[in-house]
């Protein structure tokens, strides 16, 4: 119970600080919408084209925009050496990590939920056809993005080129999760529900989330303190 409270304290702190400045949220949202807008000029929004690229396009926008939010996750602690204050506090590194994950998860998910209707309008896609399942894929894919992004945000927080390093480190590792999310999203926006044909992608996405959450929780104390 104490662990959950510590996680929520850290998450609430991050969300409150972000809501005061909206630095990451505004940048991330603007970037996601810009990608969707630019791609809408590049592709003819015919049914066939959209059937093929919808999932990939959406998750590329989410992954790029999400990195902006995730970069801020630990970078937010740099001014005034706030990370020292958190590390000094009697909370486990795993609670700190999960708190930051939840805060970033909420922010990235908010950007995605705003982007989805825009995606539907720009590309003439009926994205609400399988809405509950699409939301499940969004949640799982966003958690994968958030967990990997947050642990690498912690790892690169003291590097000068962290804005460059974070995507370089996260995207290669995210490939299995992104492919799964792209395939499932493509099927769902085209009206194909999750079934025997695409269940393996869902299993891979769930497996990715479980494995990398566990690995990150095991490593975060070492990442933070060395």
Partner 1 sequence: MNAVAVEGVWKYYGDYPALRDVRMEAAAGQCLALIGRNGAGKTTLLRIIAGFSAAQRGKIKIWGKEPREAETRRQMGFLGHGISVYDELSALENLVLFGKLYGLPDPRKSALEWLERTGLERVRNGLVREFSRGMRQRLAVARAFLHDPTVLLLDEPFTALDDRAIAVLQRLLREALAAGKTIVMSTHQLREALELASHVALLSRGQLAFHGERTAEMVEDPGYVYARYGEGA
Query: Residues in the site for partner 1, rule: CB under 8 A?
Result: 2, 5-6, 9-10, 13, 16-17, 20-21, 79-82, 84-92, 221, 225-226
**Phi and psi angles of residue 164, each rounded to the nearest 5 degrees, phi first:** -85, -40
CB atoms within 10 A of CB 183: 20
**Phi and psi angles of residue 6, each rounded to the nearest 5 degrees, phi first:** -65, -40
Structure tokens at 70: 């995730």
SS3 state of residue 27: helix
Which residue, 82 or 165, is less far from partner 1 as judged by CB?
A: 82
SS3 state of residue 127: coil
Least Å from the CB of residue 110 to partner 1: 18
CB of 157 closer than 8 Å to CB of 223: no
Least Å from the CB of residue 83 to partner 1: 8
Least Å from the CB of residue 169 to partner 1: 22
Least Å from the CB of residue 158 to partner 1: 11
Which residue, 13 or 51, is less far from partner 1 as judged by CB?
A: 13
Find, among 124, 134, 108, 140, the residue nearest to 40 by Cα. Answer: 124
Least Å from the CB of residue 18 to partner 1: 8
Which residue, 48 or 81, is less far from partner 1 as judged by CB?
A: 81
Which residue, 129 or 219, is less far from partner 1 as judged by CB?
A: 219
Which residue, 19 or 38, is less far from partner 1 as judged by CB?
A: 19
Q: Where are the alpha helices (DSSP H) in 124-161?
A: 131-155
């Amino acid at each position: 119970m104490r662990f959950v409270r510590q996680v929520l304290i850290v998450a609430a702190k991050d969300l409150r600080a972000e809501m005061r400045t909206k630095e990451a949220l505004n940048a991330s949202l603007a970037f996601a919408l810009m990608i969707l807008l630019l791609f809408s000029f590049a592709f003819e929004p015919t049914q066939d084209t959209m059937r093929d690229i919808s999932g990939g396009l959406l998750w590329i926008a989410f992954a790029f925009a999400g990195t902006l939010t995730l970069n801020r996750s630990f970078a937010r602690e740099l001014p005034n050496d706030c990370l020292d204050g958190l590390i000094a506090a009697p909370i486990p590194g795993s609670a700190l990590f999960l708190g930051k994950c939840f805060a970033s998860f909420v922010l990235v998910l908010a950007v995605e939920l705003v982007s989805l209707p825009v995606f539907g309008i720009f590309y003439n896609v009926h994205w609400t056809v399988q809405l509950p399942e699409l939301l499940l894929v969004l949640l799982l894919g966003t958690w994968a993005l958030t967990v990997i992004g947050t642990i690498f945000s912690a790892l690169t927080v003291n590097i000068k080129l962290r804005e460059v390093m974070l995507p370089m480190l996260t995207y290669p590792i995210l490939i299995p999760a992104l492919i799964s999310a792209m395939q499932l999203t493509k099927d769902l926006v085209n009206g194909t529900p999750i079934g025997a044909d695409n269940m393996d992608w869902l299993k891979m996405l769930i497996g990715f989330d479980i494995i990398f959450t566990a690995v990150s929780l095991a490593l975060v104390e070492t990442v933070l303190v060395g």
